[in-house]
């Protein structure tokens, strides 16, 4: 009897509960229609995971700016439709692979993410790639030149690897008549280490340029008088360095103080703030890059003008790369006619195979998923960047 008496209220409760669950499910479907169904929804959700704090936060802050500018243009141009807006959930990887993994996991839990704008630091990218791949959401990296990153069908890269932009610099070295070079190499970054130990000697060796002296140095080395002493003794025609951060200004100035007056080439992550710290010693320093605000081609120049108008400062390579990254995703959404992650992942290589012109100039995509730009060789004249080649 008690059971019988309780049946009716329990039934009503059950019905109410089912109704509530159904309503919630419908509400969920409505919110995630972008992900589940066809057509481009009115709001597209992207997830950004970059370093907003930590030792390379300047890269993540610029990256977020590049994306913000691209989204503003995409929206203003009604590129994906008159009423379509893009919402980016920017999360801080804090220069820590574990944090990056945690943030991407939390961000993807929302269930409505169309694509992830991935980290720039290789070890963070390696940590988050399997999470995006496992979630079936495409992730587009910038920088992150490490090998083995683009192994799944959900992984993409919107910036050229160092190996693909350095030929521009090595040709400049060869054309200058150099026969012997010294390489001061970082031992703390796998990508740059390989560049200095394998890629550059191979590129130069083809034209008979000999590596007279080569060093691997840890990121904890702060004073370079010892390697500089050996570089000077080797009498190179050019010095190349793949060091990173504040090590570059120290090396450049100590080379000049030691009497070296030949050309110096460095990695592509040089900002004006870093270049200025070198004073007169930095004049003439050259570095290959996929972007410089000195580029005069139509799209890069328009990007520079728009960026300066929006943020009041000149853009750097990190902003240019994420500007192209965001536009690549937008083109893929338009190509797919959908914000469903699987559709976008399928469309990204299709857009990649056609290529497009972005802030980095004309972009082609190896295998449809790995951007290649010709790049430029930038020369610092003491106050601003100029194009050397």
Site membership for other proteins, residue 93 (CB under 8 A): no
The residue among 57 and 335 lying less far from other proteins, judged by its C-beta, is: 57
Q: Name residue 192's beta-bridge partners.
A: none
Q: Smallest gap, in angstroms, from Cβ of residue 253 to other proteins? A: 4
- Burial class from Cβ neighbours inside 10 Å (0-12, 13-18, 19+) for residue 78 reads exposed
How far apart are alpha carbons 289 and 269 in whole angstroms? 8
The residue among 190 and 346 lying less far from other proteins, judged by its C-beta, is: 190
- Residues 199 to 218: which contact other proteins by CB under 8 A? 215-218
Among 33, 101, 133, 277, binds other proteins (CB under 8 A): 277
Q: Smallest gap, in angstroms, from Cβ of residue 278 to other proteins? A: 6
Q: Smallest gap, in angstroms, from Cβ of residue 279 to other proteins? A: 5
Helix, strand, or coil (residue 266): strand
* Contact assessment for residue 102 and residue 124, using Cβ atoms and an 8 Å cutoff: no
Largest separation between any pair of C-alpha atoms in the chain = 102
The residue among 43 and 232 lying less far from other proteins, judged by its C-beta, is: 232
Among 1, 3, 82, 273, binds other proteins (CB under 8 A): 273
Site membership for other proteins, residue 320 (CB under 8 A): no
- Burial class from Cβ neighbours inside 10 Å (0-12, 13-18, 19+) for residue 3 reads exposed
How far apart are alpha carbons 267 and 249 in whole angstroms? 12
Helix, strand, or coil (residue 169): helix
Candidates 55-63, 113-121, 287-295, 348-356: pick the segment binding other proteins (CB under 8 A): 55-63
Q: Smallest gap, in angstroms, from Cβ of residue 196 to other proteins? A: 11
Tokens 């972007």, located at residue = 291
Q: Smallest gap, in angstroms, from Cβ of residue 55 to other proteins? A: 5
Site membership for other proteins, residue 235 (CB under 8 A): no
How far apart are alpha carbons 140 and 158 in whole angstroms? 7
Helices (H), the chain: 2-31, 33-36, 57-76, 97-108, 122-135, 162-175, 190-194, 200-205, 225-234, 247-257, 272-276, 298-311, 317-336, 341-354
Q: Name residue 210's beta-bridge partners.
A: 180
Candidates 38-46, 49-57, 173-181, 356-364: pick the segment binding other proteins (CB under 8 A): 49-57
* Count of residues touching other proteins (by CB under 8 A): 39
Among 54, 97, 136, 167, binds other proteins (CB under 8 A): 54
The residue among 28 and 55 lying less far from other proteins, judged by its C-beta, is: 55
Q: Smallest gap, in angstroms, from Cβ of residue 381 to other proteins? A: 15
Q: At what angle do helices 298-311 and 57-76 cross, to 10 degrees?
A: 100
Site membership for other proteins, residue 6 (CB under 8 A): no
Interaction mask 243-262, other proteins, x per CB under 8 A: --xx--xx-xxx--xxx---
The residue among 140 and 252 lying less far from other proteins, judged by its C-beta, is: 252
Which residues of this chain interact with other proteins, rule CB under 8 A?
A: 53-58, 61, 187, 215-218, 220-223, 225-227, 229-230, 245-246, 249-250, 252-254, 257-259, 271, 273-274, 277-281
């Amino acid at each position: 009897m008690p059971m019988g008496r309780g049946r009716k209220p329990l039934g009503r409760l059950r019905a109410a509960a089912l109704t509530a669950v159904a309503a919630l499910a419908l509400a969920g479907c409505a919110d995630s229609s972008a992900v589940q169904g066809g057509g481009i929804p009115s709001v597209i959700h992207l997830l950004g995971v970059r370093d907003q704090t930590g030792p390379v936060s300047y890269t993540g802050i610029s990256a977020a700016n590049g994306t913000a500018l691209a989204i503003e243009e995409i929206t203003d141009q009604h590129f994906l439709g008159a009423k379509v807006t893009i919402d980016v959930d920017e999360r801080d990887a804090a220069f820590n692979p574990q944090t990056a993994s945690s943030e991407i996991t939390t961000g993807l839990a929302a269930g409505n993410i169309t694509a992830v704008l991935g980290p720039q630091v290789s070890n963070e990218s390696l940590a988050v790639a399997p999470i995006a791949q496992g979630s079936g959401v495409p992730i587009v990296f910038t920088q992150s030149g490490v090998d083995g990153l683009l192994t799944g069908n959900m992984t993409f890269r919107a910036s050229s690897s160092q190996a693909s932009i350095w030929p521009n610099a090595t040709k400049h070295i060869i054309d200058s008549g150099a026969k012997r070079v010294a390489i001061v190499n970082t031992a703390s970054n796998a990508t740059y280490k390989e560049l200095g130990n394998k890629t550059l000697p191979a590129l130069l060796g083809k034209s008979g340029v000999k590596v007279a002296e080569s060093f691997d140095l840890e990121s904890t080395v702060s004073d370079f008088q010892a390697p500089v002493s050996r570089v000077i003794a080797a009498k190179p025609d050019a010095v190349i360095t793949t060091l990173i951060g504040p090590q570059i200004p120290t090396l450049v100035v100590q080379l000049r103080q030691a009497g070296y007056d030949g050309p110096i080439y460095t990695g592509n992550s040089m900002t004006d703030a870093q270049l200025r710290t070198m004073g007169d010693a930095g004049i003439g320093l050259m570095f290959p890059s996929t972007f410089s605000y000195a580029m005069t081609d139509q799209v890069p120049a328009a990007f520079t003008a728009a960026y300066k108008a929006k943020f009041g400062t000149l853009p750097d390579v990190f902003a240019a790369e994420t500007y192209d990254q965001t536009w690549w995703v937008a083109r893929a959404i338009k190509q797919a006619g959908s914000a469903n992650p699987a559709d976008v992942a399928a469309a990204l290589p299709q857009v990649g195979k056609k290529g497009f012109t972005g802030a980095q100039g004309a972009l082609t995509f190896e295998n449809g998923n790995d951007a290649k730009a010709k790049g430029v060789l930038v020369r610092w004249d003491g106050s601003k960047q100029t194009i050397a080649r």
